[in-house]
Amino acid sequence: MVAPTFCFRSEVVNLNTHQFLLNNMRKNVPSIVALLLGAFAAASPSQAQAQAAVEFETKQSLNSSSARKDISAVWQSPQQGYVIDMRERAARLYHITADACWPDAQLEKQSADYYAFGRFNAAKTRLKVSAALGASETLWIRLDALPARCAKQADTSPTAVLRALAQTMDEHFAFFKERGVDWPASVAEASQRITNASSDAELYEVVAKLLGQLNDPHVTLQAKVDGRERRLTTGRGATLTALRKAFEAQSKTKVPTAFLKDWMSSSQSAVNKQLLAGTGRTALEDTAFWGVSRNDAGNVGYLSLTRLKDLTAKETVADDIDAVDALLDTVIAACTAGNPGSSDKNCKAIIVDLSQNRGGDDRVALAVAARFAASGGVAFTKQAVSKGAVDDVQSVSLSPSSKPRWLGEVVLVTDSITVSAAEVLTLAMRTLPNVKHIGQPTRGALSDALEKSLPNGWRFTLSNEIYKSAGGELFEARGITPSEVMTVFDTADLFSGQSKLLTALVAKQRAQ
């Protein structure tokens, strides 16, 4: 796994007992923690607690000397369960629950690249931080002192570790109802199996069972047990489950990641041959594939995006957006160039294929959607959860790009693989009148993944933000259902990929 940020999109999928890392995509919606650390040492979409009566100043850079002075204090994030002590240059970060508090040196070391702006209330007792001037915000509240339980040595006994996990999930996980889990009952049952004499292996099995029942791709567990790294991931969806079974049923390919690579390569080759007459091109560090299916009956553009982050060697969001914009410049230009000798200048449609997309960053998703938007509007809303706290609902808007746009017909293709930021892109695209959504329901894991640790050093993530469509619909755990449901990947012929569906879609566009 790539070094984690505090709030991200992650998909890590096991195809067998080996770890099958399906691109480990992050939907990177960073936490304020790194910003506070970075601003203090050097110089997101997340969620804010409702403070209707509190006025906040104009957003400012947190790199100024005055801002660094103002953040020299102890701060708590109610929505993320973090406490950070900024009174000394060597800042300390803690996870806090109703009964416990423990430090996390790993998160202290994370980069502050994503956190640049904030705004205080007049008394400097509250601070809302975001990654950019127009980004959504996370609320931190100034404390008078470090909570007493944070100053104590953390209890690392098996029962304390289980209790810390149970409380953290209870206070921050957003979807017990949607996932069909009675958390208090599950914790009560798990507690009967753990004593302070339990081994790490026994504790891991209990914790893994607790988290695994949620079947949530953004709920993960990483632990070192008896000298061996162990990882729990769940919520694969139908296509990835079929791929796992296919891997286990064969013996030629020994490494799961190689099997996945072969499958994706085979899918791309089939599309290139059957749809694009061998003219398809890769882009964005081989995460994108595009071309134009040319025919006198009409041209149809094709763009496949398999992730929405780390699209360049520089691996910054700004570079990712520049890179995807450059690719869309090329695709849109190709779709308005026509065929030599053809009277039909424009493509009849562009197919945007997200059927193998495992997420990335919301900002990249919105940059893609902006290239197909004729007008602006709300793309989706998001709301962080924290037990006992009232949170603001933040609206995220989609604005038309100032770059060349494609305002003709768009066919959006999704599958159960489509997850996280790819689902956010799906939400944004579905607000556009020129977009038709076909394929299979998405995975149903739109929330950011909040990174947490346990007192014994194990790490886990959880879903703590509620994403809804512009119309207020929640798709977590059930996925976004297309307006026209069609088979994308035939489980009886996985290696033919999505080419059969795409060929039919192109023929349908030409017949219109």
Q: What is the pLDDT of residues 424-436, one digit of tens each?
A: 999 999 999 999 9
Predicted TM-score (pTM) of this structure:
0.89
Predicted confidence at residue 465, as pLDDT, reads 94
302, 502 in Cβ contact below 8 A?
yes
Give the type of residue at 383. Answer: Q
Q: Each residue's pLDDT tens digit in the chain (512 positions)?
A: 222 334 445 353 333 323 332 333 445 434 445 545 544 444 333 333 444 446 888 877 777 778 888 889 999 999 999 999 988 877 899 999 999 999 998 887 764 444 568 889 999 999 887 766 666 778 889 999 999 999 999 999 999 999 999 999 999 999 999 999 999 999 999 999 999 999 999 999 999 999 999 999 999 999 999 999 999 989 999 999 999 999 999 999 999 889 999 999 999 999 999 999 999 999 999 999 999 999 989 999 999 999 999 999 987 899 999 999 999 999 999 999 765 544 456 899 999 999 999 999 999 999 999 999 999 999 999 998 888 666 678 899 999 999 999 999 999 999 999 999 999 999 999 999 999 999 999 999 999 899 999 999 999 999 999 999 999 999 999 999 999 999 999 988 899 899 999 999 999 999 98
d(CA 163, CA 454): 10
Closest CA to 216 of 449, 397, 387: 449
pLDDT of residue 397: 95
State the burial class of residue 480 (Cβ atoms within 10 Å of its Cβ: 0-12, 13-18, 19+): buried
Residue 493, both tokens:
């012929």
Predicted local distance difference test score (pLDDT) of residue 27 = 54
Task: Report the side by side order of strands in the sheet with 349-353.
Answer: 281-283, 288-293, 300-305, 349-353, 409-414, 435-439, 484-485
> What is the pairing mode between strands 409-414 and 349-353?
parallel
- Least Cα distance to 40 among 101, 106, 92, 95 occurs for 92
Backbone angles phi, psi at 462, to 5 degrees: -150, 160
> Residue 62: its pLDDT value, please?
74
Contact present, 270 and 448 (Cβ < 8 Å): no
User: For 394, what's the count of Cα atoms within 13 Å in the CB-facing half-sphere?
Assistant: 24
Supply angle C-alpha 453, 18, 284, rounded to 5.
80
Both tokens assigned to 473: 């619909």
Cα-flanking dihedrals φ and ψ of residue 149, to 5°?
-70, -20
- Cβ atoms of 81 and 23 closer than 8 Å: no
Answer whether 410's CB lies under 8 Å from 349's CB.
yes
Neighbours of 177 (CB within 10 A): 11
Strands (E), 33-73: 60-61
β 465-469/228-232 pair status: unpaired
Say which CATH superfamily domain 256-453+465-511 falls into: 2-enoyl-CoA Hydratase; Chain A, domain 1 (3.90.226.10)
Report CA 173 to chain centroid distance, whole Å.
15
pLDDT of res. 346: 87
Would you state the pLDDT for residue 339?
56
E strand segments, 288-445: 288-293, 300-305, 349-353, 377-384, 394-398, 409-414, 435-439
Q: What is the pLDDT of residue 58?
A: 82
Count CA atoms within 13 Å of residue 373 on its CB side. Answer: 24
Candidates 194, 242, 238, 236; CA nearest to 219 is 236
Distance of CA 101 to the CA centre of its chain: 27
Q: Give backbone dihedrals phi and psi of 145, rounded to 5 degrees, phi first.
A: -160, 170
Helices (H), 371-498: 421-430
- Give me Rg for the CA atoms of the chain: 24
Domain boundaries, the chain: 31-150, 256-453+465-511
Q: Is 218 exposed, middle or buried (0-12, 13-18, 19+ CB in 10 A)?
A: buried
394 bridge partner residues: 382
